[in-house]
Structure 1
């Protein structure tokens, strides 16, 4: 089943989701790039920051979600946005070379995305930059509870083929990109997001990691699944004085292609 994205739900925690992007881009040393591509641009609010950082560059945002691109075009008209799968873009024959490629919280949705590194590096000019960030929290209750519940009946028959995100440790990306001749800066950070509202962790994951599972369920089963999911998340992430702390590990990689590449 092909799932769809809801830009408004995704933007519920826009500040928390945007902070890793800002910290990733701050480590890119490009001064005056001509071309910047944002792979998995989502609703475009963060792509706009790339246009602000490099006002002289042609900035292009790509996303496979029609809904996300429509939102991006409506809110950020100064940037070019296209509906395109990043794998198709990476693998497409092209003589054009890019100065900066950015991908924020997207590659975890691409199975075997480590194999894409060579194609992405090949799309860069000598001295060009590849920067990406992926979640590294898939052993946390926000993900394990979803997987455990989805594997139970009566849900398992519907959720077995649902997409789920995955990523590697920083050293794996560092090794892969060094082998491709890049200078690599890789690190990880665990954020402690303080969330408020009713079932805030469910609100967070239902806009991202849990969305394919929820959409895979038929209408008559989804409410029961959601209520049990919320109950288990409340137990795993208790509220204190109306606040819930969500630990969130993220993995960052900034690589520069060698001048002789």
Structure 2
């Protein structure tokens, strides 16, 4: 069950708000006519917004999904290109360094953030900016309900015990990783982006375009139908009545790479 841009973009406006908040933290002065990397760029539409805002910089968007990148050609321009590649091998094999490393709602799919984040920060040039947004899955109720459903029989058996555990750390751990990576001007915040759902199907559709995918791709058609039914029933039980508000939490991280030899002062 590959990524589906159509399903994902059903909630494009909702997904755009945290992207815009993250982009607002970026300094054009720091970026200048440098280069930017968008990790997990998806369809490329948001990367194009970045490239339009900071026109003197060159941007590369990378994503591992053929389906999501299929239409990215329409956004290619003089200062924006795309590459089909997985993030980890790209970062670890490339000698390139960056004036901006940007990632909106993508790094939650990568494991071992205690190793990954220092590797990413090490790819920043002095004065380079690090801007990352991730759903804070451990505190989001739909993610919790999804884990509960996948952990019960018969789904646990059908999934062979598979559970997509969130790799996200606590805020103070990200603060330490960023500080240890010589990032300054730190911005670390947990924000709530409310979703007003008319019914349980709205909430199911929202998560079906992202966190639900690894589960559904492991089930056959009949199993998917039963899983969907059980999951929706749990959503109904959680929210009781509709319309309902879903307080979707996201983590925003930002910092600037300190120039070598510059010492922090109190």
**Common topology (TM > 0.5):** yes
Measure how far apart 1:162 and its partner are.
Answer: 5.2
Q: Which residue of 2 aligns with 1:229?
A: 231
Deviation per residue, 1:233-261 (Å, 9 max, x gap) = 12212443xx3311111111101111117
Change (3 A) 1:118 1:165: same
CA distance in 2, matches of 1:11, 1:66: 16
Across the two proteins, how many residue pairs are aligned to each other? Answer: 255
Q: How does 1:53-92 map to 2 (within 5 A)?
A: 53-73=53-73, 75-78=74-77, 79-92=80-93
Structure 2: stretches of 5+ with no match in the other structure = 262-266
Contact 2:122–2:181, Cα closer than 8 Å, also in 1:
no
Q: Which residue of 2 aligns with 1:16?
A: 14
Contact 2:156–2:162, Cα closer than 8 Å, also in 1:
no
Contact 1:109–1:163, Cα closer than 8 Å, also in 2:
no
Structure 1: stretches of 5+ with no match in the other structure = none
Measure how far apart 1:18 and its partner are.
Answer: 1.0
CA distance in 1, matches of 2:3, 2:166: 14
Q: Which residue of 2 aligns with 1:118?
A: 118
Question: What secondary structure is seen at the aligned counterpart in 2 of 1:153?
Answer: coil
Q: Which residue of 1 aligns with 2:264?
A: none
Please report the TM-score for the alignment, with normalisation by the length of structure 1: 0.91
CA distance in 1, matches of 2:241, 2:75: 36
Root-mean-square deviation over aligned CA pairs: 1.8
CA distance in 2, matches of 1:228, 1:145: 10
Contact 1:162–1:216, Cα closer than 8 Å, also in 2:
no
Question: What secondary structure is seen at the aligned counterpart in 2 of 1:199?
Answer: helix
Q: Are positions 1:179 and 2:180 aligned together?
A: yes
Question: What secondary structure is seen at the aligned counterpart in 1 of 2:133?
Answer: strand
Contact 1:136–1:168, Cα closer than 8 Å, also in 2:
no
Change (3 A) 1:71 1:239: farther
Please report the TM-score for the alignment, with normalisation by the length of structure 2: 0.90
